[in-house]
Chains A and B, each alone.
Chain A
Amino acid sequence: MAYGTKEREFLKNELNGIKNDGIFKEERIICAPQNSEIDVVFPTGTDEKKVINMCANNYLGLSSHPDVIEAARKGLDHRGYGMSSVRFICGTQDIHKELENKLTKFLGTEDTILFPSCMDANAGVFEAFMNEKDVMIADRLVHASIVDGMRLAKAMTDTYKHSNMDHLEKKLILHKDKRLKLIITDGAFSMDGDLAKLDKIVELAEKYNALVFVDDSHSSGFIGKTGRGTHEHFDVVGKIDIITTTLGKALGGASGGCVSGRKEIVEMCRQKARPYLFSNSIAPVIVAASNKVIDIVTETTERRDKLEENTKFWRKGLTEAGFIIKDGETPIVPVMLFNAKLSQDFAKDLYSEGIYAIGFFFPVVAKGQARIRTQLSAAHDMVHLEKALAAFIKIGEKYEILHKTKEEIIEKYGS
């Protein structure tokens, strides 16, 4: 047997190394539908505890919405459970095409292709239409799935400092000899909650004849006045060549993603993107529910408006209480603690108070930038946010970090 004592010991040591580095990940078991309040078992073996969820990507509160669940049920009844096929063999139903058309209209693009996830969309899109003659120039804080997708492509890679337009311009000049130049950015950055400067990026793209790629996973459904995404927010609808996004966050929260944009690029994905070609179709039940989700977000901005109000309340409340938060306007609100251990202790204390939020530290974020990342939802009512804020203040007082500068917190706890 190849997997013997030696191999087992080797991997045990690797796992111990991860534990010793403090980056060992453990799952919290949730015994309820995803919502603003959930029942959680953590650590394993303890009793279920009801907590307010401040760390889901359930921005619009649609993950357990009755209309979405009902649409999923109908999808199951009318189109079955699974497709047992990739899209291009016998895995494309009428509802898959319906969803692609609805996403095209919603995002204001030319065409859309579904992928099993946005991770897969990002893994497949670059390789599908770029090669050695081209260059991909990415913001240094883009999502890991984009980094992986760029690694799979043969095009030259380069980066620019986060949201630094002068640096991006230098890179566009440096690579002016390349055939296709693709600027790559997240729409909203998931760790800091800031928005890419899409208006400036589009200006540079037009000046230097480059294409623009935006991963709008943390924006689709709620950024922009009708929730179309960061391109709507910056008034550049129709000027983004490629948008990738997910159905696994605001848009229902189940799974699935897409590439939406110029029809020739989408068609190249249909012909060449490996995660599309070699992975099963999205299950009919998810497609049917996603169609309903797009109907809901198209018909009314009620949920994104409530999310906006919740976000304003939360950002204002934390700031007035004396916390240091990352500036911005998205429902991703990082509470800066700077010290890794403090971020873990703070999250643990929050959990004791019935608030579920996660501390992030290096290598997920830069050294000395440890934080609690909070995420708002339209499913949060004021009573949830008031309780969560009270808990934050109580623990902030315990650690004596309120109304303190970054330097004062670092002096007390280290960076």
Chain B
Amino acid sequence: MSDTKDVILDYIKEEYLDDEDMELDFSSPLITGGIVDSFSMVSLKRFLETKYKIQIPDAKATPEAFDSVDNIIVLLKEFNVE
């Protein structure tokens, strides 16, 4: 699971951060912290679906579920991604 966490964190850094000095960890608030806006969340959802070969229903792709890497890991467990 720590591999999965790292993969997701790396993707978020690459995709959303312009400032390389900005620190981000597994519990950093992504949506409420203004790092990922609601428009850009689709990239993260599509990345997860492609990477782990799953389909996340829109009803489960909520701002809360995507608000940190830790939260995303909880969501992925529902799809048996470890």
- A residues engaging B (CB < 8 A)? 138, 140, 147, 150, 156-159, 161-162, 171, 174-175
Rounded to whole angstroms, the CA-CA distance of A156 and B40 in the bound complex is: 10
Please name the residue on chain B nearest to A159 by beta carbon: B40
Which A residues are CB-close (under 8 A) to B40?
A: 140, 157-159
Whether B46 sits at the interface, judged by CB under 8 Å, is yes
Q: Distance in Å from the Cβ of B46 to the closest Cβ of chain A?
A: 6
B3 at the interface (CB under 8 A from A): no
Q: Which chain B residues border A157 with CB–CB below 8 Å?
A: 38-40, 42
Once A171-B43, A174-B43, A174-B46 are accepted as A-B contacts, the answer to whether A159 and B37 lie under 8 Å apart by CB is yes
CA distance A158 to B39 in the complex (A): 5
Interface contact A158-B43, CB-CB below 8 Å: yes
Contact call B39/A159, Cβ cutoff below 8 A = yes
Chain A, interface SS category: mixed
Q: Does B18 contact A (CB under 8 A)?
A: yes
Contacting residues, chain A, for B18 (C-beta < 8 A): 161-162
Cα–Cα, bound, A51→B19 (Å): 38
Residues of B within 8 A of A (CB): 18, 37-40, 42-43, 46
Q: How far is the CB of B42 from chain A (nearest CB, A)?
A: 5
Instruction: Kindly list chain B residues whose C-beta atoms are within 8 Å of the C-beta of A159.
Output: 37, 39-40, 43
A-B CB proximity, top 8 nearest: A157-B39, A159-B40, A158-B42, A159-B39, A158-B43, A156-B42, A174-B46, A157-B42
A158 to B45, CA, bound (A): 11
Q: Are the CB atoms of A138 and B43 closer together than 8 Å?
A: no
B18 to chain A, nearest CB (A): 6
Complex alpha-carbon distance, A107 and B43, angstroms: 34
Min CB–CB distance B76 → chain A (angstroms): 19
Min CB gap B71→A, angstroms = 21
Least CB separation from A135: chain B residue: B42
Residues of B within 8 A of A147 (CB): 39
A306 to B37, CA, bound (A): 41
In the bound complex, residues from chain B placing their C-beta under 8 Å from that of A150 are 39
Alpha-carbon distance between A171 and B16 when the two chains are bound, in angstroms: 13
- Rounded to whole angstroms, the CA-CA distance of A161 and B40 in the bound complex is 10
Bound Cα distance A158, B16 (Å): 12
11 residue pairs of the A-B complex, CB under 8 angstroms, read A138-B39, A140-B40, A147-B39, A150-B39, A157-B38, A158-B42, A159-B39, A159-B43, A174-B43, A174-B46, A175-B46
How far is it, in angstroms, between the C-alpha of A171 and the C-alpha of B42 when the chains are bound? Answer: 11
Question: Residue of B at shortest CB range from A142?
Answer: B39
Please, how many angstroms separate the alpha-carbon atoms of A147 and B43 in the complex? 17
Q: Which residues of A contact B37 (CB under 8 A)?
A: 159
